[in-house]
Chain A
């Protein structure tokens, strides 16, 4: 076989893997939408007004369910778990833990200084980090997955 043809075939394999990986990433709109919902929910709970807490909770549950459902229904392929691997899982865990830690740190600091609505204000940087960091996390995961060997016999 001509080596150029073999290289073209390998390029095809790489391109197709890229298609699968790209199509399985969480869409960019999901992140700011989740951040906004979270902010509304925390604001509603912190208001301590019963009808606002109830309405906020229901809207949060419905909104989050709708977002997740939209992503899942759109999904027509599931990327291979081994492509994500430990590196990808650690990146997701670090992103999540970082957001929670940052949110709690800001909220407790604001509370210590007697600021009004500390939880809601603490949630603002978290929502922003979700909106801007989510797509960056996806870009990182894409790089991780595409760095794996082309084929795995296991």
Chain B
């Protein structure tokens, strides 16, 4: 986490949003259905959380077609990636200060 200033982010830290951003940080993009299956959220709950993240400028939501089927996908924006990296650094700092072992 070198070069990232630790900053705890309350918006990201909410449990469902932490799960969503953690999924998205490992992905170039993720399908709405994938996010729903992995988090176990309902369509409306997932939409609400994604909208919150989008309003904060942390994710982009993209609508496209695969064949004739509509597909909604999401990905982290550079700002979202930066905020998440700072949040993880803050969590690691809290753990390190307590003397627990920190996984990179």
Give residues in A with beta carbon < 8 Å to B: 1, 3, 6-7, 9-10, 12-17, 19-21, 23, 76-81, 83, 149-154
For the complex formed, measure the closest distance between the CB of A14 and the CB atoms of chain B, giving whole angstroms. 7
Residues of A within 8 A of B29 (CB): 77-78
Please pick, from A15, A76, A83, the residue contacting B30 in the complex, using a CB distance under 8 A: A76
B contacts with A, residue count (CB < 8 A):
38
A70 to chain B, nearest CB (A): 14
Where chain B touches its partner, the secondary structure class is helix
Contacts of A9 in B (CB 8 A): 13, 18, 91
List the interface of chain B (C-beta within 8 A of A).
1, 3-4, 8, 13, 15, 18-19, 22-23, 25-31, 33-34, 38, 81-82, 84-89, 91-92, 94-95, 97-98, 100, 102-104
Besides the known contacts A19-B38, A153-B86, 11 further A-B residue pairs in the complex with CB atoms under 8 A apart: A3-B97, A10-B91, A10-B103, A13-B22, A76-B30, A77-B31, A78-B27, A149-B104, A151-B4, A151-B88, A151-B89
Tell me the bound Cα distance from A61 to B5 in angstroms: 52
